[in-house]
Amino acid sequence: MADQNKSILKNINDIQSLRGLLKSEMSISTPEGREVTAIVHVYNDESVSNDGGNIVFLGVGLRFVVDTEKDRGGRGTNYWPSRITRSRSLDNTELRHKYHEGNWVGGTGDAFPAVTADEQSHGEVLFPGESVEYEIKISESDLPYLDIRVEGSVSRRHLLYISKSIEALKKWTQPAVEEIFRGLNAIDFYSPLLSVIDSIPAFGPQTTLADINSFKLVVENAREHIDKVMKELNKVYHSAPNQRLRDYMKKGVGQYLTLATKVCDKTLEALSGSDMNKMKEAAEEMKTHLRTAGEVKKGQADLESGFGIGP
């Protein structure tokens, strides 16, 4: 009996731990007159699940608890809502779209809706990675007597949702998927771009015109490399057998290379001028972006794992 009770308590603790994924951060501005601006950023810190069971928070909002003895003038329930500007700072449209993929065969009703009308009526709905921001105008004299609470609940509907591909189909689908990853691995997206970082000069009093011209040649070669691999990526993209692969190539590798093109062009423009500070700033911006190649590579590794493909 004692072991059973421990097991129950562990399960309860595991469920309660999900609440910690609803995160919030707050910043308060320097007072202007007698008023401050508070920014409350609320976000779902969970990662996306590939086969259902996502942690989605419903009824997310703020509760204002004010010391009634200090509530001057007996302000009504509409006071605090009138002091708030709310904005969605980040939406996971890709995940929401997945609930509507393909054609549903299973009954007379709709397929599993991403959000129901009832769920929307209770507050914000935050899927993994989504966030909402509240800008609040607060009298500085109210701050010592104000309790602002972030509230929400875990959606049982989404938590218990299951979406699994039929394993038997892999006999036909997996070879085509593996061929795509072989095609991606055959294209050397990153090495020539990451090698640019090691060629960046210090851009100081000791930097010579020869140093700048040498680095400019390296960036020009990188720029040509991007044009070449973009064409190769496009061929692999159009042969991909499903949308998940195309999304990664477009939003992962494609966006990385597109932005790399822009920072290379910006750096080449600065290197053609005479302002050493602009050269340094452009080169640093380029270096910062090129180093994000690790995140793009991890995206491919995660995708391969999701398709059951090992290293």
Cα 264 from Cα 229, distance rounded (Å):
15
pLDDT one-digit tens code per residue, 53-95: 999 999 999 999 877 666 655 676 788 899 999 999 789 988 8
pTM tops 0.85: no
Cα 216 from Cα 164, distance rounded (Å):
50
Neighbouring CB atoms inside 10 A of 308's CB total 12
> What count of residues does the chain have?
311
Residues in CB range of 133: below 8 A, 6 or more apart:
39, 40, 41, 42, 86, 87, 88, 89
Return the domain boundaries, the chain: 2-159, 167-306
pLDDT recorded at residue 187: 96
**Which of 13-17, 171-175, 252-256 is the least confident region?**
13-17
Token pair of 17 as six digits: 């731990």
pLDDT average, residue stretch 170-178: 93
pLDDT one-digit tens code per residue, 119-163: 999 999 999 999 999 999 998 888 888 899 999 999 999 999 999
Q: Are strands 35-44 and 131-139 parallel, antiparallel or unpaired?
A: antiparallel
Confidence of residue 27 (pLDDT cuts 50, 70, 90): very high
47, 130 in Cβ contact below 8 A?
Answer: no
pLDDT recorded at residue 249: 97
Cα 111 from Cα 105, distance rounded (Å):
8
Cα 163 from Cα 88, distance rounded (Å):
27
pLDDT one-digit tens code per residue, 248-270: 999 999 999 999 999 999 999 99
pLDDT average, residue stretch 230-250: 95
Q: Which CATH architecture has domain 2-159?
A: Sandwich (2.60)
38, 136 in Cβ contact below 8 A?
Answer: yes
Cα 302 from Cα 311, distance rounded (Å):
10
